[in-house]
């Protein structure tokens, strides 16, 4: 046994260029790659070396997947499990890690660009804004996977913070009903991003709590979509915006003294502190 490592690599949201440099380097030296469906096949096939064993996990059970990964780790140094977006979100990561731990196979995780972030980027939206909301909730509607106590969309939406709703495009009627029950106005903006970052396939549907379901139906959007409901949506076009304290001329932090003159973008410190 050569004792290889299984790397759980976030492949990013779809655009093969949105994988991390580290993830790509691992693919380039992988002896075996197990990828999760069509979303990430492109990255796997584009950068894998000649002779790399590549398999699609689409038709495998969890047991078959872990058996495959364990067998490949016995054969080669670098085994990659490629997952969409970030492996830590709705990716069955722990269910796959446990059998590998039990088999004594070393594992490591490389984060990826989640579709939540890619969707916000595609729509040129900020998920947080000063004095509007400073909180983002990643969630989903209950489907076959039940929601734990206190996590129904209606309860979470009552915070009126940003909601990135995964795995729920076919349940849009229930999403808007939950937002309404939580007190969101029928005019509150909602954006749906289908296949965020996929070259030539991305679609952005902008609507409101009242209109988004019909707009998605008209656009025939039934899969691979992120629903973002947020009081920050559309801020690009707002005339009044509370500015970030970090860039305020009167705000002192460890990299810059407050000045009375407004600072130019070029004056900003190279290493920003963690507050914005
Ligand atoms: N780990 C992934 C999520 C996997 S769950 C991540 O971090 O993005 C699958 C769900 O993710 C889909 O139902 C959809 O809601 C969302 N999703 C994945 N890729 C997407 C994309 N390119 N654009 C929009 N939503 C996407």
pLDDT tens-digit series, residues 43-57: 677 899 999 999 999
| Degrees, nearest 5: CA angle 58-59-64 | 105
State in words which class domain 5-113 has.
alpha beta
Instruction: Check residue 32 and give its pLDDT.
Output: 96
* 57, 87, 219, 226, best to mutate for ligand 1 pocket (most atoms within 8 Å of CB): 226
pLDDT at 263: 44
Q: Which CATH homologous superfamily contains domain 116-234? A: Tetrapyrrole methylase, C-terminal domain (3.30.950.10)
Statement: residue 270 has pLDDT above 70: no
Q: Give pLDDT tens digits for 231-269.
A: 999 999 998 887 776 677 666 666 666 665 444 444 444
Which residue's alpha carbon is nearest to atom 6 within ligand 1?
85
Which of 23, 115, 170, 205 is the pocket-test mutation for ligand 1 (most atoms within 8 Å of CB)?
115
Between the alpha carbon of residue 105 and those of residues 10, 24, 66, 117, 236, the distances in Å are: 19, 22, 11, 31, 48
Candidate from 16-20, 171-175, 215-219 with smallest mean pLDDT: 16-20
Name residues contacting ligand 1 (CB within 6 A). Answer: 13-14, 84-86, 89-91, 114-115, 118-119, 166-167, 193, 195-198, 224-226
Which atom of ligand 1 has the smallest separation from the CA of 88?
A: 1
Q: What residue's CA is closest to ligand 1, atom 2?
A: 85
Q: 71 CA to middle of ligand 1, Å?
A: 29
Residue 240 CA to ligand 1 centre (angstroms): 33
pLDDT, greater one: 58 or 113:
113
Q: Domain ranges for the chain, please list them.
A: 5-113, 116-234
Give the burial string for 31-63 (b: 16+ CB within 10 Å, else e).
bbbbbbeebbbbbbeebbeeebbbbebeeeeee
Task: Tell me what pLDDT residue 240 has.
Answer: 85
Written as six digits, the tokens of 119 are 């969707």
Whole-angstrom Cα distance, residue 60 to residue 44? 18
pLDDT of residue 39: 66
Task: Tell me the CA–centroid distance for residue 252 and ligand 1, in Å.
Answer: 39
Q: Which 8-state DSSP code applies to residue 197? A: T
pLDDT in tens, 152-172: 999 999 999 999 999 999 999
Mean pLDDT of the chain: 90
Q: Under 8 Å CB-to-CB from 21, ≥6 apart: which residues?
A: none
């Amino acid at each position: 046994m050569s004792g290889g490592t299984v790397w759980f690599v976030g492949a990013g949201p779809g655009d093969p260029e949105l994988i991390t440099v580290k993830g790509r380097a691992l693919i380039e030296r992988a002896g075996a790659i197990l990828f999760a469906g069509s979303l990430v096949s492109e990255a796997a096939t584009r950068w894998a070396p000649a002779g790399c064993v590549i398999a699609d996990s689409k038709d495998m059970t969890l047991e078959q997947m872990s058996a495959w990964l364990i067998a490949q780790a016995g054969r080669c140094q670098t085994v990659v499990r490629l997952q969409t977006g970030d492996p830590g979100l709705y990716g069955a990561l722990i269910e796959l890690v446990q059998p590998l731990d039990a088999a004594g196979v070393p594992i490591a995780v490389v984060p990826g660009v989640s579709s939540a972030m890619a969707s916000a980027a595609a729509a040129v939206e900020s998920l947080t804004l000063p004095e509007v909301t400073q909180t983002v909730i990643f969630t989903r509607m209950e489907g076959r996977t039940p929601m734990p106590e206190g996590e129904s969309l209606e309860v979470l939406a009552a915070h009126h913070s940003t909601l990135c709703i995964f795995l729920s495009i076919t349940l849009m009627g229930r999403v808007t009903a939950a937002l309404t029950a939580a007190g969101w106005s029928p005019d509150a903006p909602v954006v749906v991003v289908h296949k965020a970052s996929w070259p030539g396939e991305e679609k952005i549907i902008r609507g409101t709590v009242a209109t988004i379901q019909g707009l998605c139906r008209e656009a025939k959007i039934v899969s691979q979509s992120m629903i973002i409901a947020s009081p920050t949506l559309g801020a690009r076009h707002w005339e009044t915006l509370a500015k970030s304290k970090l860039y305020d001329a009167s705000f002192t932090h460890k990299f810059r003294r407050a000045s009375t003159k407004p600072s130019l973008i070029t004056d900003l410190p190279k290493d920003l502190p963690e507050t914005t």
